[in-house]
Amino acid sequence: MSDPTLDPIVSIYFSLEIDSVDLGVFTTCSGLGMELQITQREEGGGGIFVHQLPGRFKYTNLQVTRPIGIDTQKTMGWLTRMAAGVAASTARLAALDPAGNVAFAWVLMGVLPARWTGPSFDAANPQPATETLELAYNTIMLDVQSDGLLGSFGL
């Protein structure tokens, strides 16, 4: 199995730390996002206006995937510790270039393990064995390392 950080074809990969525990690098990342729930109220009478009222922010679950490898031990260790006493955590997700430099990073607050999925095996259709870690969270913050500021995208 090749190291995704050394593959020149891969332009971006992702590092993940949860409560300062390094979970290693992941090759794909999806689900990082939020949406504002909007309630519509139609005005009576002329029927011209529909008021858009802001509700709460809803955060989508983050999913990171990578080939099974040495870093899988880090994820399983963290999950084992969480199973002994689940508590909300803080995570840092960083998009890294092939040289390992941070291109962009986010801090996630209130992180909980939503799901871990291991590989599926099919001898008729050989594929790399992968794992996916899915995390729920309640706040996204932009981690601006260059000037030490954190810009909040959540509440």
Query: Number of structural domains, the chain?
Result: 1
Question: The pTM is what?
Answer: 0.78
> Residue 31 domain-assigned?
yes
Taking CA atoms, 13 is separated from 29, 36, 41, 102, 147, in Å, by 8, 28, 43, 10, 23
> Residue 147 domain-assigned?
yes
For 28-77, write each residue's pLDDT tens digit: 999 999 999 999 988 877 778 888 999 999 999 999 999 999 999 999 99
> Residue 94 domain-assigned?
yes
> Which CATH number is 18's domain given?
2.30.110.20
> Residue 36 domain-assigned?
yes
> Which has more pLDDT, 113 or 12?
113
> Residue 96 domain-assigned?
yes
What domain range is 54 assigned to? 13-152
> Residue 37 domain-assigned?
yes
Q: What is the mean pLDDT of residues 7-26?
A: 81
pLDDT at position 51 is 87
Q: Is the pLDDT of residue 10 over 60?
A: no
* Residues counted in the chain: 155
Q: Is the pLDDT of residue 3 over 50?
A: yes
> Residue 8 domain-assigned?
no
Q: What is the mean pLDDT of residues 130-145?
A: 90
Bridge partners (DSSP) listed for residue 57: 36
Retrieve residue 128's tokens: 């790399």
For 74-112, write each residue's pLDDT tens digit: 999 999 988 888 888 999 999 888 888 888 899 999 999
